[in-house]
Amino acid sequence: MEQRRYKDIVAFKWGQGAPLAFHARNLEVAEISDDAWNEMSASEPSLAGAFKALTNWESENSPDVKSGKLSVGIRSLTINVTQICNLKCTYCAAGGDGTYGSAQTKINVEKTLPQLKLFLERIPEGGSFNITFLGGEPLLYPEGIQEIGNYVRLMTAGRDITTRFSIVTNGTLFNEKTLSILRQLKANITVSLDGPAEINDKTRPTRNGIGSTSLVVEGLKLLETCRSDLGSLTLHGVFNRENLEIAKAYEFFQSLNADRYEFTYSVEENDDASNKLYVEQMNDIAAKAYALGGESELRKITLFNQYFNALDNQQQTENFCGSGKSFLVMDAKNNLFTCPWEVGNKEEKVGENTNVDFARMENESAPLIEKNNCQNCWARFMCGGGCMFIHKKGTGSKHQKDGQFCYRTRSLLGTTFIYYKLSRASC
């Protein structure tokens, strides 16, 4: 798509109808005239007529825009209840086998509860607290999940705090016992799955080399019997140069009756050709989804849903994630880190047991779009400065942007604007 820019307006020529423009601060999408489009590339644009309207729009600051500033204070905690796994995925970023290089069968719950108390006491009335159970494979220690869940509910009972529980699982261990615990917590469930058996069995084999897909499909059938007692169900695939079969994964996911689908480009991957292919494939499934069921089908794909929400609410984002500000990870040895992929990295360790460096979090409060020098990027308030872990993998520094990440983000935002335009006749 050809693209032109005037200050905080970026415009796209997309082959159908008038050029489409995006206001980077106001998060507004609108058609512009061909005259305005032509003036955008003129060396000395005429400040009259069509271009004048564009400059007026650019200078507006909409009162409906919601600030993306993030207040410091831990509201989300990911807990590695195990650091072992029954699978051995080819791209596992948790040390290659779910252990992060240091296997731990079970988290010590006696040590975990006082840590939780420390965070819960700091949540203001009217606030929220989100816990995500991760591993290794978290359902290898369901009793730990139950004890932690019970404790958080007990500690928040009678207080005006919203608690949400989520789990990221390989989906091979759903049974009566594990599902009963997840139902008690009304947990949102994310199942990792990279596509149909011919793909997923290769990328996500069990430890003894047998494919895991049939176990996941059986588990999802069981889960279906108690769906109404659970939160949302998301299927999550990871893609890299070894597997870019996103269209096949999308087709397979559609047969499994989930609420949402996630197609993530591996945080470990750094290959330019694969990156471009990933964007092409995402564009292909967006077209398929929209043709199949319009906005609602497209929004089953989490990325597009997130962008549509931001545009509908004119909600800016100044931090791609809350890493080290509003979000921490507890490993299975009760150490605290800023990011799931930084478990074990001393530089990103911010505490152990009840000894937590809250001062460091205060010092991290500057928005990522500033720290990462994204002030001139038109995508900044939709992106929030990007994933620090991916930046570090690509450039060696978590605050130095990875070009491939930026390409993916801006390309898929361009795609989003088109479907947003098609879905919102009036914009």
169, β-bridge pairs: 191
Neighbours of 37 (CB within 10 A): 22
Binds ligand SF4 (CB under 6 A): choice among 377, 393, 412, 420 = 377
Q: Which is nearer to ligand SF4, 304 or 389 (CB)?
A: 389
- As a whole number of angstroms, the distance between CA 405 and CA 264 comes to 12
- The answer to the question of residue 328 lying near ligand SF4 (CB under 6 A) is no
- The answer to the question of residue 379 lying near ligand SF4 (CB under 6 A) is yes
- The answer to the question of residue 238 lying near ligand SF4 (CB under 6 A) is no
Asked whether the beta carbons of 106 and 144 are under 8 A apart, the reply is yes
3-state secondary structure of 24: coil
- The answer to the question of residue 112 lying near ligand SF4 (CB under 6 A) is no
Q: Which is nearer to ligand SF4, 188 or 212 (CB)?
A: 188
**C-alpha to C-alpha distances, 141 to 82, 90, 136, 154, 413, nearest whole angstrom:** 7, 23, 10, 21, 39
3-state secondary structure of 265: strand
- The answer to the question of residue 410 lying near ligand SF4 (CB under 6 A) is yes
**C-alpha to C-alpha distances, 372 to 8, 195, 367, 380, 388, nearest whole angstrom:** 18, 34, 9, 10, 9
Q: Which is nearer to ligand SF4, 263 or 290 (CB)?
A: 263
- The answer to the question of residue 323 lying near ligand SF4 (CB under 6 A) is yes
Task: Enumerate residues 123-152 that contact ligand SF4 by CB under 6 A.
Answer: none
Query: Which region among 140-148, 150-158, 173-181, 369-377 touches ligand SF4 (by CB under 6 A)?
Result: 369-377
Asked whether the beta carbons of 234 and 192 are under 8 A apart, the reply is no
Task: Enumerate residues 389-408 that contact ligand SF4 by CB under 6 A.
Answer: 389, 401, 406
Binds ligand SF4 (CB under 6 A): choice among 383, 393, 394, 419 = 383
236, β-bridge pairs: 192, 262
- The answer to the question of residue 388 lying near ligand SF4 (CB under 6 A) is yes
The token pair that represents 260 in the structure block: 């949402």
Q: Number of C-alpha atoms within 13 angstroms, CB side, residue 250?
A: 22
Asked whether the beta carbons of 68 and 318 are under 8 A apart, the reply is yes
- As a whole number of angstroms, the distance between CA 40 and CA 259 comes to 41
CB of 381 to ligand SF4, least distance (A): 8
Query: Which region among 121-129, 136-144, 316-324, 351-359 touches ligand SF4 (by CB under 6 A)?
Result: 316-324
Query: Which region among 162-170, 258-266, 308-316, 334-342 touches ligand SF4 (by CB under 6 A)?
Result: 334-342
The token pair that represents 38 in the structure block: 């032509």
Asked whether the beta carbons of 356 and 330 are under 8 A apart, the reply is no
- The answer to the question of residue 386 lying near ligand SF4 (CB under 6 A) is yes
Q: Which is nearer to ligand SF4, 84 or 379 (CB)?
A: 379
Binds ligand SF4 (CB under 6 A): choice among 165, 252, 341, 420 = 341
Binds ligand SF4 (CB under 6 A): choice among 374, 404, 412, 421 = 374
- Residues near ligand SF4 (CB under 6 A) are 267, 320-321, 323, 339-341, 369, 372, 374, 377, 379-380, 383, 385-389, 401, 406, 409-410
